[in-house]
Amino acid sequence: MTDQSHPLRAAIWMLGAVASFSAMAVAGREISVELNTFELMMYRSAIGFFIISLLVFKFGGFAQLKTDRLSMHLKRNAFHFVGQNLWFYGIVVIPFSQLVALEFTSPIWVIILAPFFLGEKMTKPRVLAAICGFIGVLVVAQPGVATLNAGHAAGVSAAVFFALNIIYTRQISRYETVLSVLFWMTLMQFTFGLILSLPGGIPVPSAEGMKWVLIVAIAGLTAHFCLTTALSLAPASIVAPMEFIRLPVITFVGMILYDEPFVWAVAIGALFILAANFINIRAEGKT
């Protein structure tokens, strides 16, 4: 731990991130009766684009948005857009706890995919972490015991696409400011959502529905702001495990609001996934 590390302050910001992610999950499920995932992403990105544009104007101006890496932005945002659509679909069809547990395998997919995209070596600890994470997925999904559906596939697939997004974010963050990354993200994802929503016509949410859309949009931005701030206050090896509090929190939210049952297999599988992430964090800390 360095002199610049403030784990208590980081933990407070992580609580903000957990609250934001949980609010986004609830709002995403509620708005699903009015909007499909493409339409939700279109509205969410439009609101986010407006907010980010104001921040760009205030902090540094629009000159910082000039880039010669549009193709990299495009690939990153295509992966994130697909992953986010799968995530919003998953929160509607499977319990919150299952989806979040499957989502937490994203760092494991980074381990598996990084050698192909970043040229990183597949070390023994990374192999062990990948195996442990895969066991966790099997325990959570319970193939052959529980009925698998498209929601489980969506959860795992979302984790894969989020991993690809992380890989490209690592690359582009070497050259672009945070505001530039967020600006191109909201602009491109609004465009993707608009194009995919046009064939069926673009519905206008009700006043109640717009409330949920605003929560999704604002919670998405605050979640990533809180997470980024926490990482600036303490090392990733300290901050990353804090995010796992999101699983018991979202499990409790699902039980209270939607009468979702507590399933021991999800808790046990999540422990395997948590162990896999700890193995990877320790290995990265020694490199």
| Number of domains, the chain | 1
Whether 100 is covered by a domain: the verdict is yes
Whether 155 is covered by a domain: the verdict is yes
Whether 144 is covered by a domain: the verdict is yes
Whether 2 is covered by a domain: the verdict is no
Whether 192 is covered by a domain: the verdict is yes
At a CB cut-off of 8 Å and minimum separation 6, what does 8 contact?
A: none
- Residues in the chain with pLDDT values less than 50: 1-3
Whether 259 is covered by a domain: the verdict is yes
Whether 181 is covered by a domain: the verdict is yes
pLDDT at 1: 44
**How far is it, in rounded angstroms, from Cα 273 to Cα 256?**
25
- Contact predicate 233/13, CB 8 Å: yes
Whether 1 is covered by a domain: the verdict is no
* Whole-structure pTM value: 0.86
Which residue range(s) make up the domain with 252? 7-286
pLDDT at 187: 95
Which of 194, 250, 278 minimizes the C-alpha distance to 17? 250
Which of 285, 287, 284 minimizes the C-alpha distance to 111? 284
pLDDT at 2: 43
**How far is it, in rounded angstroms, from Cα 10 to Cα 86?**
29
